[in-house]
Structure 1
């Protein structure tokens, strides 16, 4: 029998005793009233005000991985876990980040007054040449006339790689790219290996001004990128562990996670102070709740850099731990008033123990939660190690995702509370002392029908 199937049946009480005496026993009868009673032990303690206040506190400033802002958040999270009585570990890890250095532009011998930012991966170089506007830099728009020149490009339609490569293929010496319509700022863009020309970004208004200038006169430009390159930074995972009663330990582990870092320049109220607050709330209310399953509450660093914290944590798990982890619940962006409904995403688009329990808990607490397929969050490293995992998130996302407008005033206490209640009820279904259930325990969750939802993020 596959390992995950065994995990599912153990955790939900669906494995029946194989002893001969169990053959004549009465069949398991799911008792939804009993499950409601057990749910209430957990969800009645969840406070929407407390959830909201944590989001407010965490989102006062950005928490980009490797910065002082992240470390302040880590200290707060560790203090909270310890105040609930948990054994708490800070797990540091080193990652490489990009230092953009100093970039500049000179136009017709006049220093450009706007903000200039090097693309991630840009080479350090200084180039002087004529400026040529090549539109969106599609292969049809870029001609041999750009050879030796600095290409002025509008962002949009095709990838950064294609834009830069198309002008390189025609011999361009450098790139100035301006933002697309509807986007603010110049914090965008990256180059790839082999794209060895300096590439910088400016905002849309400044880019359109250069286009207008080119329409009336020849423009000579100079772009310079200096000091750009990779640097080592340190980020942290925070892990709080609750051991089961020593006489009731069934050997299982359940992990509940969120990521505490934000994007650069973004306060990250929904992404993901909301998830962190949910993890802390469940840790608080479970701290004095009898359990027979080890619970690990955790927040990850450097999710926005490529799931680095969760990959690091997953890599430290022994095979014994992997075999004993029955489920991983990931909470990411669970509080925006302007996002869609709650959904459970799995990396492979298949149901598993976590989605089964989440759907059943949703039916008891609010309404059935559907599932879909998506990676892009910290459930992926657990899934890749064979652990049943799912991401709980509201989708489609709000308009200010990954922006400075991701602020606490756009957080819904009701969404925060309901999502935390659903996950809390699902976790407790595994962790409460009368599960795994034998055939006569009558505590297995009732089957719930839930469907695949091909919903975009």
Structure 2
């Protein structure tokens, strides 16, 4: 009897397990059927051809080459039936000085200019003012003097402005640690005066002499720096809801940056992400959706995420609340890079990573996730929007070099990324799935286990 009971229990257990496994398996198969509506339509040669077209020359922000890329991207979006739009924005381009010299009591001293320092030819007596904080400068008259300041506590720009407000004609900032100091004043500011960087060792010698009562006269020459306003663009295509009666009033963003650094064609960084975004826009244009999808290619990413920051800053609170997820595609095609990884700014999973991980399992490419900023998902994260960067890691040896060319591109990796992001985005956007709970406009709580097929 006891033996019979154990057998019965085992049979019951395996039957129950089989039902559960069958249920999960059926769920995955059901999702795969929906995935195929995207996956089967993807054409990797389209993606490859976009990269070829975009990587003929460096697409530096604010240049004619970047504008050609803008026009190409817009033509593609429009050919898919979108009424794409350009979002122009300006930024400041800074070119470093061609001449920098510093002399103290007739002796030449090695120094480097700060980014955004104005040009100037200045002579004056050195005056050491510590860290250059308001307390350090309080009561000081620096008229016609050159302020000597130690790095630390406040920003370089604040130090310069504090000294200039006290009358200083120029500023020398020296490091608080061993090694060279290469810094930036942060941005263009008409309150700045010519500013030079020195090593800790050089600064300590000057401070010691001043503290001993020596009078030190310095001359500073900075020439050839150029500061000018340039224009770049975000290119935006919006897929409207096709099932108006089931409109979730929510938005998904799929994005990439199309600009690149000088001297490099930027085939992988980030013509690859832009090309995948274009192909996903083509495929998703043809399927029914109850959620808006915005495809955005950002300008001036390489200069500090300028385009994506401008885009997010332009959104109202209501528009931000509507966005349930942002997929950023950056460097997704190099055959010499590692595996596809999802990165979030805080290193935590979110709706985008979870749905993409589930899509990865279904499409045959399991994904991992980690922590990384440095791409256009960052402004979305700080706006409270679930966002993730998709990139192959570790990056290829050709990163930011002239060797980032078309011959280094893997069609397999391009297609892998397109399948995962396309499947995950369509899972959110297709009419048979409910609005997601992230946004305030979600009508009801969602069983997230069901959305991902029980996969983590």
- Normalising by structure 1, report the TM-score: 0.68
TM superposition shift of 1:367:
2.4
Aligned to 1:227: 224
Q: Which runs of 5+ in 2 are unaligned?
A: 1-22, 102-111, 123-156, 158-171, 187-191, 199-218, 436-443
Checking the alignment, whether the CA contact within 8 Å between 2:84 and 2:238 is kept in structure 1 is yes
Aligned to 2:78: 82
Say whether residues 1:121 and 2:116 are aligned partners.
Answer: yes
Say whether residues 1:69 and 2:76 are aligned partners.
Answer: no
- Which of 30, 34, 53 does residue 34 from structure 1 map onto? 30
Alignment CA distance shift 1:197-1:279 (3 Å): same
Alignment CA distance shift 1:63-1:443 (3 Å): same
Checking the alignment, whether the CA contact within 8 Å between 2:114 and 2:185 is kept in structure 1 is no
* Distance of 2:25 and 2:195 partners within structure 1: 68
How big is each residue's C-alpha offset from its partner over 1:16-62, in whole Å with a ceiling of 9 and x where there is no partner? xxxxxxxxxxx999711110110001011111211111111101001
Aligned to 2:138: none
Aligned to 1:55: 51
* Distance of 1:42 and 1:373 partners within structure 2: 29
* Distance of 1:271 and 1:297 partners within structure 2: 18
SS in 1 for 2:84: strand
Aligned to 1:320: 318
Alignment CA distance shift 1:169-1:33 (3 Å): closer
The alignment yields a C-alpha RMSD, in angstroms, of: 3.2
SS in 2 for 1:31: helix
Aligned to 1:344: 342
How big is each residue's C-alpha offset from its partner over 1:412-453, in whole Å with a ceiling of 9 and x where there is no partner? 11001111110000000001110118999x97331223xxxx
TM superposition shift of 1:100:
3.3
Checking the alignment, whether the CA contact within 8 Å between 1:328 and 1:387 is kept in structure 2 is yes
TM superposition shift of 1:198:
6.2
SS in 2 for 1:256: strand
How big is each residue's C-alpha offset from its partner over 1:219-272, in whole Å with a ceiling of 9 and x where there is no partner? xxx997533132111110000001012233221111100001101222111110
Alignment CA distance shift 1:249-1:168 (3 Å): closer
Aligned to 1:365: 363
Q: Which runs of 5+ in 1 are unaligned?
A: 1-26, 106-116, 128-160, 162-166, 171-176, 178-187, 201-221, 450-457
Checking the alignment, whether the CA contact within 8 Å between 1:362 and 1:368 is kept in structure 2 is yes
Checking the alignment, whether the CA contact within 8 Å between 2:113 and 2:195 is kept in structure 1 is no
Say whether residues 1:381 and 2:379 are aligned partners.
Answer: yes
Alignment CA distance shift 1:30-1:126 (3 Å): farther
Aligned to 1:236: 233
TM superposition shift of 1:121:
3.5
* Distance of 1:445 and 1:351 partners within structure 2: 13
May I ask how many residue pairs the two structures share in their alignment?
Answer: 338
How big is each residue's C-alpha offset from its partner over 1:383-413, in whole Å with a ceiling of 9 and x where there is no partner? 1111110000011111111111111111111
* Distance of 2:174 and 2:87 partners within structure 1: 45
Alignment CA distance shift 1:275-1:126 (3 Å): same
- Which of 447, 453, 456 does residue 446 from structure 1 map onto? 453
Instruction: State the structure with more CA Rg.
Output: 2
SS in 1 for 2:268: helix
Checking the alignment, whether the CA contact within 8 Å between 1:30 and 1:443 is kept in structure 2 is no
SS in 2 for 1:238: strand
* Distance of 1:197 and 1:303 partners within structure 2: 27
Alignment CA distance shift 1:323-1:197 (3 Å): closer
How big is each residue's C-alpha offset from its partner over 1:66-98, in whole Å with a ceiling of 9 and x where there is no partner? 111111000000010000001211000011110
TM superposition shift of 1:303:
0.5
Aligned to 1:306: 304
Aligned to 2:440: none
Alignment CA distance shift 1:223-1:70 (3 Å): farther
- Normalising by structure 2, report the TM-score: 0.68
Alignment CA distance shift 1:315-1:122 (3 Å): closer
Checking the alignment, whether the CA contact within 8 Å between 1:87 and 1:242 is kept in structure 2 is no
* Distance of 2:371 and 2:238 partners within structure 1: 29
SS in 1 for 2:296: strand
Aligned to 1:208: none
* Distance of 1:223 and 1:47 partners within structure 2: 59
Aligned to 1:333: 331
- Between stretches 374-383 and 118-127, larger displacement belongs to 118-127
